[in-house]
């Protein structure tokens, strides 16, 4: 059957149009593909080249060396030392268990470390090194080096680890470092990438924590070439980071050691401050602990022993502990009264053994009373009734203002953990905190450093330094950072009347040097080293009227934790004060009998910069002091290694 020519022509035109449309579509697709290929290969070539390079080249952080800490004479308190560790690479070792067994015959391995390493190997790539043992001795490293052919995959490695050569002496000042925890990271908004490096350590408490950023330094970097599975093939280049800053403290290693040794097993604290510039020469808390235990990873038993000790060895009592200052607060009340014009040099109050206020008797420590007392005699014999009378006339506001002026009730800025502010209470404070009005009985209690008044040993030392000099002495712990001196702690005048200041200083002198003085038994005999001091005994329990009538129970008959705190403050030499000292012995019973002898010994050690001559002590004490000096000398650190390294 023949087709109509007209139909044939129409069909051809349709095919031609379809071919044209299809060809156009194909050309359009090819054009789009070509444009896209050009965009990827030309326009975005640099971006994809960079991505490919990042797959091949990685940046790795290099931890900086931590800044070291020295005392005022350049002796090391916290330093870095080489720490050897043993690592194993699973794919190089082959039979891992057999290799570890051979290694265990050469050096001691902790089974717990082996179990941990085996667990890590199961979670990690076979080419990654896993730590088997840390803090390995050089002798053990040498054994491994000699037996390398028999120990495939085993490699000794070396890094830097924190070390505290003086152990317990500076634990509460410097603190310690430890591995970064999730809790540490949660406290930082934008943590440094250094903190994410495995086993990287940061300051946990004390100066190590407060000066972390300066001590840490900044990381270096190294560029390494890696293969598809992340194995490092070679190092391309490296840029070293900046080491942490070295910090020099104002403290003296030998004096700090003496303070800690002299405090012994007491639950106590002592602070020694240079009255000329505010330098803290010693900041002691007892008992103490070895910070190296925390660096290496403290055991559960060791940590439990610290936390369950009722003497609280982990607490930095010298700056964190706040105590009723007892009679050491009487200088504040005396100066407040003198400056307010409430009393003069010869004005007296009668002490009959007690003062009745609002139908309540406030007793003097001397049951029969002291009779007529002026300000000098009241300080010398620590007459409570005199200060009850004086405080009730002066008022708590003026007393609180004077306390602040002398450094009590305010927080001193130091790079230490939990520095306490103490408390110099006011009417407004009691209303705000307790929702109650201030009572005259509160003022009477405050007059002898009881009631709401609280102070730390640091604050008591600052108070004493300010009384000794009449100037604003601020405590300073850091002497220099990387050799750059920090500002002095010596400030301007307190603005107190010099005659009033001299009267209080004179009263403190008689405390230590007059036979009626409460601290006469702990006096200094050396004429040019005599001290002016004040004792304090603060109660930690209420004495009922019934107990007082029957006879107050002696401290010796009470459980340790119900005995009075013993306090003492002093400055010396009297004519030209160089140091101020504060000592608090928790539940030590008597300030004059317990705290004063400790403070006297520390004061002489600071003034003589070593063991003082025996003739500086009362003759009755010399045999005991000679024996004590010999015993404490045995506890002094051996600084020969440090001296040689400095030379």
Count other C-beta atoms under 10 Å from residue 308's C-beta.
7
Cβ contacts of residue 286 below 8 Å, gap of 6+?
Answer: 260, 263, 264, 265, 266, 267, 268, 269, 311, 313, 317
563: three-class secondary structure by DSSP? coil
In this prediction, residue 352 carries a pLDDT of: 95
Residue range 133-148: average pLDDT?
85
- Scanning the structure block, which residue is given the tokens 């702690």? 489
pLDDT digits (tens, 9 = 90+) for 214-230: 999 888 877 767 665 45
Which of 137-146, 264-273, 447-456 shows the lowest per-residue confidence on average (mean pLDDT)? 137-146
Percent of the chain with pLDDT over 90: 62
Count other C-beta atoms under 10 Å from residue 84's C-beta.
18
In this prediction, residue 647 carries a pLDDT of: 45
pLDDT digits (tens, 9 = 90+) for 316-326: 999 999 999 99
Residue range 513-534: average pLDDT?
96
In this prediction, residue 233 carries a pLDDT of: 64
Band (2; pLDDT cuts 50, 70, 90): low
**Exposed e or buried b per residue across 291-307, where buried means at least 16 C-beta atoms within 10 angstroms of its C-beta:** bbbbbeebeeeeeeebe
In this predicted structure, the answer to whether residue 289 has a pLDDT above a threshold of 60 is: yes
pLDDT digits (tens, 9 = 90+) for 310-363: 999 999 999 999 999 999 999 999 999 999 999 998 899 999 999 999 889 999
Residue range 396-408: average pLDDT?
98
Burial of 527 (0-12, 13-18, 19+ CB in 10 A): exposed
> Which of 28-37, 175-184, 432-441 ranks highest by mean pLDDT?
432-441
Cβ contacts of residue 12 below 8 Å, gap of 6+?
Answer: none
All domains in the chain, ordered by first residue:
60-249 (3.90.1310.10), 253-642 (3.40.710.10)
CA distance 646 to 605: 25
Contact of 315 with 285, CB cutoff 8 Å? yes
In this predicted structure, the answer to whether residue 50 has a pLDDT above a threshold of 60 is: no
Report how far Cα 387 is from the mean position of its chain's Cα atoms: 36
In this prediction, residue 49 carries a pLDDT of: 57
577: three-class secondary structure by DSSP? coil
pLDDT digits (tens, 9 = 90+) for 239-260: 878 999 999 999 999 999 999 9
Q: State the chain's mean pLDDT as an integer.
A: 88
In this predicted structure, the answer to whether residue 23 has a pLDDT above a threshold of 80 is: no
In this prediction, residue 62 carries a pLDDT of: 75
Reported in sequence order, the residue ranges of 138-192 that DSSP labels E, i.e. its strands, are 154-163, 176-179
In this prediction, residue 359 carries a pLDDT of: 86
Residue range 120-132: average pLDDT?
76
Mind telling me the catalytic residues? Answer: 327
In this predicted structure, the answer to whether residue 397 has a pLDDT above a threshold of 80 is: yes
Q: Which residue has the higher pLDDT, 644 or 501?
A: 501
pLDDT digits (tens, 9 = 90+) for 58-105: 666 778 889 999 999 999 999 998 888 888 888 878 888 899 999 999
> For the residues of 31-44, what is the DSSP string, one character each?
HHHHHHHHIIIIIT
> Which of 51-60, 536-545, 564-573 ranks highest by mean pLDDT?
564-573
pLDDT digits (tens, 9 = 90+) for 478-489: 999 999 999 999
Contact of 297 with 116, CB cutoff 8 Å? no
558: three-class secondary structure by DSSP? coil
95: three-class secondary structure by DSSP? coil
Q: Which residue has the higher pLDDT, 408 or 118?
A: 408
Percent of the chain with pLDDT over 70: 88
Q: What is the pTM of this model?
A: 0.85
In the chain, % helix, strand, coil (3-state, to 5) comes to: 45, 20, 35
In this predicted structure, the answer to whether residue 5 has a pLDDT above a threshold of 70 is: no
């Amino acid at each position: 059957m023949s087709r109509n020519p007209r139909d044939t022509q129409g069909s051809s035109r349709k095919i031609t149009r379809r071919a044209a449309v299809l060809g156009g579509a194909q050309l359009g697709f090819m054009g789009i593909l070509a444009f896209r290929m050009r965009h990827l290969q030309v326009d975005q070539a640099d971006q994809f080249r960079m991505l490919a390079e990042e797959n091949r080249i990685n940046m790795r952080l290099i931890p900086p060396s931590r800044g070291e800490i020295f005392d005022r004479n350049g002796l090391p308190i916290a330093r870095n030392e080489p720490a050897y560790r043993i690592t194993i690479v699973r794919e190089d070792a082959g039979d891992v268990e057999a290799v570890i067994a051979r290694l265990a015959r050469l050096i001691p391995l902790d089974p717990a470390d082996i179990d941990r390493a085996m667990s890590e190997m199961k979670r990690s790539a076979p080419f990654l090194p896993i730590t088997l043992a840390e803090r390995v001795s050089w002798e053990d490293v040498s054994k491994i080096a000699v037996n390398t052919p028999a120990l495939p995959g085993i490699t000794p490695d070396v890094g830097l680890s924190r070390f505290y050569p003086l152990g317990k002496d500076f634990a509460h000042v410097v603190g310690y470092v430890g591995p970064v925890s999730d809790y540490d990271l949660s406290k930082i908004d934008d943590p440094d990438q250094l903190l994410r490096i495995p086993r990287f350590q940061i300051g946990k408490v004390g100066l190590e924590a407060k000066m972390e950023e300066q001590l840490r330094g900044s990381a270096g970097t190294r560029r390494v070439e890696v293969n598809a599975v992340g194995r490092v093939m070679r190092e391309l280049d490296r840029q070293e980071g900046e080491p942490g800053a070295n910090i020099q403290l104002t403290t003296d290693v030998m004096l700090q050691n003496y303070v800690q040794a002299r405090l012994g097993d007491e639950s106590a604290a002592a602070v020694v401050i240079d009255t000329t510039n505010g330098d803290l020469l010693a900041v002691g808390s007892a008992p103490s602990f070895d910070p190296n235990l925390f660096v290496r990873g403290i055991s559960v038993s060791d940590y439990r022993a610290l936390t369950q000790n009722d003497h609280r060895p982990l607490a930095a009592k010298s700056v964190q502990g706040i105590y009723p200052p007892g009679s050491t607060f009487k200088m504040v009340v005396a100066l407040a009264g003198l400056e307010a014009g409430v009393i003069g040099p010869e004005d007296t109050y009668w002490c009959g053994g007690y003062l009745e206020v609002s139908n309540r008797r406030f007793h003097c420590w001397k049951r029969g009373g002291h009779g007529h007392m002026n300000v000098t005699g009241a300080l010398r014999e620590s007459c409570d009734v005199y200060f009850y009378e004086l405080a009730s006339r002066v008022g708590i506001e003026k007393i609180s203002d004077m306390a602040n002026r002398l450094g009590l009730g305010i927080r001193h800025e130091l790079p230490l953990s939990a520095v306490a502010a103490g408390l110099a209470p006011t009417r407004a404070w009691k209303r705000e905190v307790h929702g109650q009005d201030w009572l005259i009985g509160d003022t009477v209690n405050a007059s002898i450093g009881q009631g709401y008044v609280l102070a730390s040993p640091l604050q008591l030392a600052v108070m004493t330094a300010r009384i000794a000099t009449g100037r604003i002495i601020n405590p300073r712990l850091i002497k220099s950072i990387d050799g750059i001196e920090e500002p002095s702690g010596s400030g301007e005048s307190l603005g107190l009347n010099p005659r009033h200041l001299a009267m209080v200083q004179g009263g403190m002198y008689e405390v230590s040097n007059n036979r009626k003085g409460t601290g006469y038994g702990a006096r200094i005999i050396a004429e040019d080293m005599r001290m002016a001091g004040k004792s304090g005994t603060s109660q930690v329990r209420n004495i009922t009227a019934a107990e007082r009538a029957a006879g107050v129970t002696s401290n010796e008959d009470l459980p340790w934790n119900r005995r009075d705190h013993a306090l003492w403050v002093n400055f010396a030499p009297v004519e030209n004060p160089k140091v101020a000292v504060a000592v608090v012995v928790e539940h030590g019973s008597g300030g004059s009998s317990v705290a004063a002898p400790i403070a006297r010994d520390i004061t002489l050690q600071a003034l003589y910069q070593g063991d003082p001559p025996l003739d500086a002590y009362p003759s009755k004490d010399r045999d005991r002091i000679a024996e004590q000096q010999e015993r404490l000398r045995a506890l002094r650190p051996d600084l020969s290694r440090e001296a040689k390294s400095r030379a």
